[in-house]
């Protein structure tokens, strides 16, 4: 256990952040949320993790997004967050939205994966213990399960809420048609399902193609976008080659070097020119683009250092796009899939 410190949040933390409603629910999210997918596992520096969390909250970022398997190793991100929470955030619990998920492999054997009732409820109990919480604000099913009846999985989310261990139910990585079916089940159970978490960026518009975005709009559910910077590709880091300390160089699981083709580099350079005209970095413009529609309530960003969060939040100073800018961006992307 790290030495305890006294953290006092900035009194001005709510002055410049935007808070957007999740569909027709009563819940609002900060327009920028902090994700724990990377940089909070056993390979990270604890003091840096803590400073990232402090900076996020001081910037008005109230939403902290975790999952049972985030690490490395699985469970480590929740465990590290639990230490930070105990040292810094207990007085601010009612000002925070803390979420976690279950759906990917977490432990060995047939009961530690996918979407069974046994797995989801056991995983939530483990997550709460690691984080030192009585409840999470949102509990997500992390991915669609082709073999478990949707009624069972949704019933487990409903049980999580009715037991008081979660306040709201969420879905992640669902397509539009499956989300619609799931929402119907949860509505019959009177379970407060409010949010979909899906990959969405300038370079990956799958949720527009698989019906998720339209269905969420029609059903008045919120969307939170993960990987809005395409794992860092939509930043200026790769405009002049692959840095030695970049994720593409050190961890090629999710951002492989073969993505940086001459054609992709040409697109990024063209997008950078538009960002320059807007007085933004490429990353700031990419985040603002994801938030251009009301259905997207928040962009979920990771950070390896506090300065990245400060830069990202500045995008709120210019979130509007002209019709000409949007058309030019679409022409550059040319509907190319990332």
The string of pLDDT tens digits covering residues 78-123 is 999 999 999 999 999 999 999 999 999 999 999 999 999 999 999 9
The string of pLDDT tens digits covering residues 278-304 is 999 999 999 999 999 999 999 999 999
* pLDDT given at position 225: 98
CB–CB of 99/65 below 8 Å? Answer: yes
Within a domain: residue 146? yes
Within a domain: residue 312? yes
Reply yes or no on whether the pLDDT at 326 is more than 90: yes
Reply yes or no on whether the pLDDT at 5 is more than 70: no
Reply yes or no on whether the pLDDT at 209 is more than 70: yes
Within a domain: residue 135? yes
Within a domain: residue 14? no
Q: Residue 180 and residue 212: Cα distance in Å, rounded?
A: 9
Q: Residue 56 and residue 312: Cα distance in Å, rounded?
A: 11
Q: How confident is the model at residue 2 (pLDDT cuts 50, 70, 90)?
A: very low
* pLDDT given at position 243: 57
Within a domain: residue 95? yes
* pLDDT given at position 260: 79
Within a domain: residue 9? no
% of the chain exceeding 70 in pLDDT: 92
* pLDDT given at position 338: 44
Reply yes or no on whether the pLDDT at 219 is more than 60: yes
Within a domain: residue 13? no
Within a domain: residue 123? yes
Domain count, the chain: 1
Reply yes or no on whether the pLDDT at 257 is more than 90: no
Its domain, for residue 24, covers 19-333
Which of 78, 97, 96, 94 is CA-nearest to residue 36? Answer: 78
Q: How confident is the model at residue 337 (pLDDT cuts 50, 70, 90)?
A: very low
Q: How confident is the model at residue 240 (pLDDT cuts 50, 70, 90)?
A: low
Instruction: Kindly give the interhelix angle for 76-84 and 46-58, rounded to the nearest 10 degrees.
Output: 60
Determine how many CB atoms are found less than 10 A away from the CB of residue 122.
Answer: 18
- Residue identified by tokens 């939530």 is 124
Q: Residue 272 and residue 239: Cα distance in Å, rounded?
A: 9
What does the pLDDT average to over 241-247?
A: 58
Q: Which of 173-182, 233-242, 314-323 has the lowest mean pLDDT?
A: 233-242
- Residue identified by tokens 């949860």 is 186
* pLDDT given at position 250: 52
What does the pLDDT average to over 218-246?
A: 85
CATH of the domain at 219: 3.20.20.100
Q: Concatenate the DSSP letters of all residues of 203-238 into one string.
A: S--HHHHSSHHHHHHHTT-EEEEE-TTGGGTTSGGG
pLDDT mean across residues, the chain: 93
């Amino acid at each position: 256990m790290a030495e305890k410190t006294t953290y006092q949040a900035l009194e001005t933390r709510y002055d410049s952040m935007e808070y957007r409603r999740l569909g027709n629910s009563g819940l609002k999210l900060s327009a920028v949320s902090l994700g724990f997918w990377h940089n909070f596992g056993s390979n990270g520096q604890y003091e840096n993790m803590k400073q990232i969390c402090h900076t996020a909250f001081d910037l008005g970022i109230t939403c902290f997004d975790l999952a049972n398997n985030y690490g490395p190793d699985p469970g480590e991100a929740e465990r590290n967050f639990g230490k930070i929470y105990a040292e810094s955030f207990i007085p601010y619990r009612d000002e925070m939205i803390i979420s976690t998920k279950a759906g990917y492999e977490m432990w060995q054997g047939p009961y530690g994966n996918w979407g069974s009732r046994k797995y989801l409820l056991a995983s939530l109990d483990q997550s709460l213990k690691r984080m030192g919480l009585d409840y999470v604000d949102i509990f997500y099913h992390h991915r669609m399960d082709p073999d478990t009846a949707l009624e069972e999985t949704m019933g487990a989310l409903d049980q999580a809420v009715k037991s008081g261990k979660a306040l709201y139910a969420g879905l992640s990585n669902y397509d539009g048609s499956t989300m619609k079916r799931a929402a119907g089940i949860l509505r019959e159970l009177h379970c407060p399902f409010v949010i979909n978490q899906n990959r969405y960026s300038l370079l990956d518009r799958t949720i527009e193609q698989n019906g998720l975005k339209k269905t969420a709009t029609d059903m008045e559910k919120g969307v939170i976008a993960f990987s809005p910077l395409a794992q860092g590709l939509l930043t200026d880091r790769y405009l002049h080659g692959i840095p030695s300390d970049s994720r593409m160089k050190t961890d090629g699981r999710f951002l492989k070097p073969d993505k940086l083709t001459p054609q992709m580099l040409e697109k990024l350079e063209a997008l950078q020119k538009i960002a320059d005209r807007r007085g933004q970095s490429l990353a700031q413009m990419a985040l603002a683009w994801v938030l251009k529609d009301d259905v997207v309530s928040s962009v979920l960003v990771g950070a390896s250092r506090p300065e990245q969060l400060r830069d990202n939040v500045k995008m709120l100073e210019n979130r509007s796009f002209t019709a000409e800018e949007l058309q030019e961006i679409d022409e550059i992307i040319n509907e190319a899939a990332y």
